[in-house]
Structure 1
């Protein structure tokens, strides 16, 4: 049995790996009596059809319909569980000192993603709201794959299938946002999440068309901010304004850092303007009344960095881009920062790094 055959695993889902008294070949290393069991993975979700979380007459998309909100969350739950499972497994693999165990754990991640790719998951989005919600999940899967791809030798057929599937999903995302998304959705947090996923897939596939789309999207988000650093479309969300400001900044900052790290430069994104957006957001978290004064309602976000770590994972890539001393000091108090759609342990990925935005990749 060769390594590729072993990593394909056994079982009806195509991703579970169970071995006993097997020999793995990693370079010239002979690994005997290896045994591992991949964690359960949700069945691939191919089709989605659901409406909005918000009341039909909510022009600012700030009045949640409780029943619809619960339905949307339920429908997306299995996809989110899938991504969370991937990032947990990646975290365990990268924390594992035993390279044999690390290899097996990482192969579980690739096999899980391949199962979804083979099923052409997330390919049949039947409503506009499904098309808006899925790009952030595709991005989360793409980032998980990017973290794992180089950790497992071989499996070339599976990797090719995954990348072909991701590329199709990225192109569908671009087509929707360029042609069918509403004017608001094409410029708010949803576009930022789409940009993150498309950019990561562009980097993986070396498709500059995708990277350029992401760069243009990021530039639009940054230049569309107000002079004080608020994002006008998110400030319309009344009591959820600060929540959505942070929700937009999460993929925006990460996307800019990721593209810079890959050598494509910042695409003329105004990093000084980004600092203003980040400063406004952090001040708003410390004192939500700053945002209340703009949005006209008390904010749902509780004051204080420690109370909002789930919304502040973007601080790690931000600090790696800017090196701001006060941000680095604040990070010491709230690490580790986690977000499954950004790869899981964001502190592990970006913490204490310096990312420059010099263009190094030949186009």
Structure 2
């Protein structure tokens, strides 16, 4: 069978990922997958087990089944106008999961910051409690599936941070296996619901980030391969200017959703790049075009608005509509400049807003990626 030039291009681009994932007996398959940030391997000399143990509050009750209301309510096909009542309902439904995620990530960041082994054990203990309860296994609608993958991304990146300290603990392997089960459930869902637009846009990017992070923990190269293919499909969909078609369809929220997509794509690229996939070169540097186009729209959203067909909604910060994105919306920049330091000058203005943090990216990104050091 002859390949079209487009198919051949995709095959060549995916070759690094396929080589990683398709040779069970190869030397690459035996090598552990690499984290995209430095992992602390030594405990801080001034920290004590007792001090850390006292700060590890019990985990909240595990959420095993989830159904999430769309914050857009009955809004039209662009889903770009939030319904206040629906938004309040969705926040309430996610309240316990978000509180748990913040608790886990805070403990993991404390280990990364201080080297306190008790903080690492706290991270694992919290996750093991939810694993034993069967947390996050039953998702009852699409929005729940979408929330699960972004939550899993943050939790797995937290466990990755503390893995040098707790990798031999009895609870570690079963907790990694639980995360792998959740990641595989996510890939099956997104592969089986491709007709749903939400399964092809930014939510798939988050599923890919979760799968790649869990792959790094578990050594599951099939998950890494799935992530590489999802990444390739997304960045190669970008137009010449760097716009993502499905995010441009979000009307007045196109700019917000480009930032949301990049929040997954940039750290995903960092994981892939750390494991032999030249993500930055994919489709002639598409990731860099997407970043440039999106950051340009922070100052001047006119091109974004023209392509989206609507003026862009103002950012809400300390002053309502002050034109500045929140630090969590730019947290992806730490992974981006860590992996692609040559891009630093192009994004330098925004780096002045450090420190950057996002729970679904594993917490304090400036701490993890060494920004400003």
The verdict on how the C-alpha distance between 1:73 and 1:159 changes in structure 2, with shifts beyond 3 A counting, is same
Give 1:51 shift: 3.5
The verdict on how the C-alpha distance between 1:344 and 1:33 changes in structure 2, with shifts beyond 3 A counting, is closer
2:205–2:265: 8 Å Cα contact kept in structure 1? yes
Q: Distance in 1 between matches of 2:364 and 2:49?
A: 31
User: Which SS does the other structure have where 2:199 is aligned?
Assistant: coil
Tell me which residue corresponds to 1:68. 86
* Alignment pair present for 1:344 and 2:363: yes
Tell me which residue corresponds to 2:220. 207
Give 1:273 shift: 1.3
Q: CA RMSD in A?
A: 2.5
128, 147, 168: which one aligns with 2:142: 128
Give 1:296 shift: 2.8
- CA deviations 1:74-121 (Å, max 9, x no partner) are 11121111111122222222322xx5xx01111111100111111110
Could you say which structure has the greater relative contact order, defined with CA pairs below 8 angstroms and 6 or more residues apart?
2
* Alignment pair present for 1:334 and 2:353: yes
1:50-61 matched pairs, under 5 angstroms: 50-56=68-74, 58-61=76-79
Q: Distance in 2 between matches of 1:333 and 1:197?
A: 28
The verdict on how the C-alpha distance between 1:352 and 1:133 changes in structure 2, with shifts beyond 3 A counting, is closer
Q: Distance in 1 between matches of 2:206 and 2:64?
A: 20
Q: Distance in 2 between matches of 1:350 and 1:209?
A: 26
- CA deviations 1:189-226 (Å, max 9, x no partner) are 10000000011111211111100000000001101111
Q: What is the TM-score with the length of structure 1 in the denominator?
A: 0.81
2:280–2:288: 8 Å Cα contact kept in structure 1? no
2:112–2:162: 8 Å Cα contact kept in structure 1? no
The verdict on how the C-alpha distance between 1:220 and 1:193 changes in structure 2, with shifts beyond 3 A counting, is same
Tell me which residue corresponds to 1:16. none
2:70–2:90: 8 Å Cα contact kept in structure 1? yes
Q: Distance in 1 between matches of 2:112 and 2:242?
A: 37
Q: Distance in 2 between matches of 1:89 and 1:56?
A: 39
Q: Distance in 1 between matches of 2:314 and 2:163?
A: 37
The verdict on how the C-alpha distance between 1:327 and 1:337 changes in structure 2, with shifts beyond 3 A counting, is farther
1:219–1:267: 8 Å Cα contact kept in structure 2? no
* Alignment pair present for 1:117 and 2:136: no
Query: How many residues are paired up?
Result: 321
Q: Distance in 2 between matches of 1:153 and 1:207?
A: 16
* Alignment pair present for 1:253 and 2:252: no
1:85-96 matched pairs, under 5 angstroms: 85-96=103-114
Richer in helix (by share): 2
- Over 6 Å off, 4+ runs: none
Tell me which residue corresponds to 2:235. 222
Task: Provide structure 2 residue ranges, at least 5 long, that are not aligned to the other structure.
Answer: 1-41, 316-320
The verdict on how the C-alpha distance between 1:300 and 1:32 changes in structure 2, with shifts beyond 3 A counting, is closer
* Alignment pair present for 1:142 and 2:160: no
Tell me which residue corresponds to 2:11. none
Tell me which residue corresponds to 2:67. 49
Give 1:291 shift: 1.7
